[in-house]
């Protein structure tokens, strides 16, 4: 309790620092460098670059030109040492820190996501970050999902473990994951073997439902399997007035696909979702559109339902391309799986997590209906005989996640830290 009180203001400062300097997935260069330096100071064995992620297992990397432009901007600002930058350039962001006690014990791992969203933050006077001068300085990018808070919680937990390592047992792995948004980053970390041999795995999220500050749900159920697909229809331009018959209209193919994607029958076995979130096409009003892009996602309550939606979607895309005699390029740029929290771990946590000055109410389980690529990590832990859970920390969020006015009550930072510290006390405390 004393430690939590002593680090509370530092956690708020960290959260605001990262909120002010948000970075998109696989472009979290400054964020990665800061976390790396902090973990190094705490005597963690620290890993970055291709030690963290398998190159071939990354989903949905930004375009090379986008990466290069942002890398130049970051280097110009002079905030990253060249030795660190050389390891993490080309989108190899994220950090893993590991520390071992001299006393044998279980291997506990924690995951914290670090990426922001392509959202322009509000400048309304009532917005707390605006009033307190920590709105985003990265135009069009915002921490609108609470990952700035997750980083702060992770840094504080790392500090606690480092200071108390002689009172703890076992191995501790802290995973600061890039590119959670869109389900892109976790799979590549799993493929590098970081979750193999983990006995207890914890992750969690600020908000996601209507829980009050002080309320903690020790498990979240209802995560949906999801597939994210980028689509490019390539046709042929021609003059829309003089020779329309010489063109091949990619925009018509895309529009036909959109209408028919939404016509896919929903599945009787559970929740099924499909969404086209973005459609871009054409070059001008008097030109037959030579190229058009779609960004699509499917979601299903089971892997089977999601597979059904994905297969139907791909068939519709192929059919639309054929109908309008255009070419089709499609790429899976993100993926998540269905996952359930381990019942034995939930029960153990529920029997031991105590209410106190920070935690006011403890629930076993709450329901969510989003998707999370932490599912790859949790399923790998379960498949290797470990136990994993994903918690929800109530935060009284007025505006929803992914909203330009998103914010949360910063008291949740200490509450989440308290829960994680108490979890360590169950399994990794020296008796």
The full DSSP string for 57-105 is G--SPPPHHHHHHHHHHHHHHT-S-HHHHHHHTTT---EEEEEE-SS--
Name residue 362's beta-bridge partners.
Answer: 216
Locate 328 and state its tokens: 């089709």
Q: How far apart are CA 255 and CA 349, in angstroms?
A: 50
Would you state the pLDDT for residue 240?
97
> Among positive and negative, which fits the CA dihedral 5, 6, 9, 10?
negative
Tell me the C-alpha distance between 84 and 74, whole Å: 12
Encode pLDDT of 36-83 as tens digits: 999 999 999 999 999 999 999 999 999 999 999 999 999 998 889 999
Query: What's the confidence (pLDDT) of residue 396?
Result: 87
CB atoms within 10 A of CB 170: 19
- At the fourth CATH level, which superfamily is domain 2-223+339-427? Zn peptidases (3.40.630.10)
Provide the b/e sequence for 344-368 (b: ≥16 CB within 10 Å): ebbebbeeebeeeebbeebeebbeb
The residues with which 328 forms a beta bridge, in sequence order, are 233
pLDDT tens digits, 334-381? 999 999 999 999 999 999 999 999 999 999 999 988 899 999 999 999
Q: What is the mean pLDDT of residues 215-242?
A: 97
Domain(s) labelled CATH 3.40.630.10 in the chain stretch across 2-223+339-427
Identify the pLDDT of residue 163. 97
Write down the pLDDT at residue 208: 85
- Helical spans, DSSP H, in 196-337: 250-261, 303-323
For residue 209, is pLDDT > 90? no
The dihedral region occupied by 280, where left means phi > 0, alpha psi between -120 and 50, and beta the remainder, is beta
Residue intervals in the chain for CATH 3.30.70.360 = 225-335
What single string gives the DSSP state of each residue in 227-242? EEEEEEEE-B--BTTT
Instruction: Could you list the residues known to form a binding site for Mn(2+), using ranges.
Output: 145, 147, 181, 205, 402
Collapsed DSSP state (helix, strand, coil) of residue 167: helix
Are 62 and 38 a contacting pair, CB within 8 Å? no
Those residues whose C-beta lies under 8 Å from the C-beta of residue 146, and which sit 6 or more positions away, are: 205, 206, 207, 395, 401, 406, 408
Q: Both tokens of residue 131? A: 């009033």
pLDDT score of 328: 99
- Does domain 225-335 fall under CATH 3.30.70.360? My reply is yes
> Do residues 184 and 26 touch, judged by C-beta distance below 8 A?
yes
Query: What local confidence, expressed as pLDDT, does residue 78 receive?
Result: 87
- Reduced to 3 states (helix: H, G, I; strand: E, B; else coil), residue 121 is coil
> What does the pLDDT look like over 113-126, one tens digit per residue?
999 999 999 999 99
Cβ neighbours of residue 390 closer than 8 Å, sequence gap 6 or more: 202, 203, 204, 205, 219, 220, 223, 339, 341, 372, 374, 378
pLDDT for 145? 97
Whether the pLDDT of residue 419 is over 90: the answer is yes
Q: What percent of the chain clears pLDDT 70, i.e. is strictly above it?
A: 100
pLDDT the model gives residue 431:
79
Nearest to 180 by CA among 59, 332, 74, 32: 59
- Pick out the residues of the known binding site: 145, 147, 181, 205, 402
pLDDT value of position 63: 95
Q: Do you know the residue count of the chain?
A: 431
Residue 388 in 3-state DSSP? Answer: strand
Answer whether residue 421 shows pLDDT above 90. yes
Average pLDDT of the segment spanning 308-312: 98
Q: How many CB atoms lie within 10 A of CB 166?
A: 10
Confidence tier at 6 by pLDDT (50, 70, 90): very high
Beta strands in 301-411 (DSSP E): 327-336, 361-363, 366-367, 387-393
Residues 24, 25, 27: CA angle, nearest 5 degrees: 70
**Cα–Cα distance measured from residue 99 to residue 42, given in angstroms and rounded to the nearest whole number:** 9
Which pTM was predicted?
A: 0.95
Among candidate residues 159, 151, 157, the one with its CA nearest the CA of residue 41: 159
State the pLDDT at residue 179. Answer: 98
pLDDT computed for residue 266 by the predictor: 93
The residue among 382, 5, 347 whose CA lies nearest residue 190 is: 382
Which pLDDT band, with edges at 50, 70 and 90, does 27 fall under? very high
């Amino acid at each position: 309790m004393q430690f939590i009180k002593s680090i509370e203001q530092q956690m708020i400062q960290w959260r605001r620092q990262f909120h002010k300097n948000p970075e998109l997935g696989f472009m979290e260069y400054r964020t990665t460098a800061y976390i790396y330096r902090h973990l190094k100071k705490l005597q963690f064995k620290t890993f970055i670059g291709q030690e963290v992620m398998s190159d071939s297992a990354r989903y949905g990397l930004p375009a090379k030109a986008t990466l290069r432009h942002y890398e130049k901007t970051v280097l110009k600002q002079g905030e990253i040492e060249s030795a660190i930058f050389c390891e993490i350039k080309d989108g190899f962001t994220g950090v893993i820190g590991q520390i071992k006690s001299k006393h044998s014990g279980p291997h506990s791992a924690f995951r914290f996501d670090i990426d922001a969203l392509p959202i322009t933050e509000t400048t309304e006077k009532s917005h707390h970050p605006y009033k307190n001068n920590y709105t985003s300085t990265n135009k069009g990018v915002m921490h609108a999902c609470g990952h700035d808070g997750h980083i702060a919680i992770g840094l504080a937990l790392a500090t606690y473990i480092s200071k108390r390592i002689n009172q703890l047992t076992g191995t501790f792995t802290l995973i600061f994951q890039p590119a959670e948004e869109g389900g892109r980053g976790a799979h590549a970390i799993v493929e590098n073997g970081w979750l193999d041999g983990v006995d207890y795995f914890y992750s969690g999220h600020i908000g996601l439902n209507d829980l009050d500050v002080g309320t903690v749900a020790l498990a979240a159920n209802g995560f949906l399997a999801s597939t994210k697909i980028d689509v490019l229809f390539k046709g042929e331009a021609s003059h829309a007035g003089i020779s329309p018959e010489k063109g091949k209209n990619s925009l018509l193919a895309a529009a036909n696909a959109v209408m028919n994607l939404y016509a896919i029958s929903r599945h009787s076995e559970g929740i099924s979702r499909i969404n086209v979130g973005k459609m871009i096409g054409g070059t001008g009003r008097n030109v037959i559109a030579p190229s058009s892009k779609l960004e699509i996602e499917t979601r299903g309550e089971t892997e089977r339902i999601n597979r059904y939606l994905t297969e139907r979607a791909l068939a519709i895309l192929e059919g639309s391309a054929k109908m309008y005699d255009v070419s089709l390029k499609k790429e899976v740029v993100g993926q998540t799986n269905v996952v359930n929290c381990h019942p034995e771990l939930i029960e153990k946590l529920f029997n031991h997590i105590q209410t106190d000055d920070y935690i006011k109410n403890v629930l076993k389980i709450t329901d969510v209906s989003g998707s999370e690529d932490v599912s790859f990590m949790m399923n790998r832990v379960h498949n290797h005989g470990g136990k994993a859970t994903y918690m929800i920390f109530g935060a009284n969020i007025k505006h929803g996640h992914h909203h330009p006015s998103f914010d949360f009550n910063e008291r949740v930072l200490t509450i989440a830290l308290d829960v994680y510290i108490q979890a360590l006390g169950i399994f990794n405390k020296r008796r």
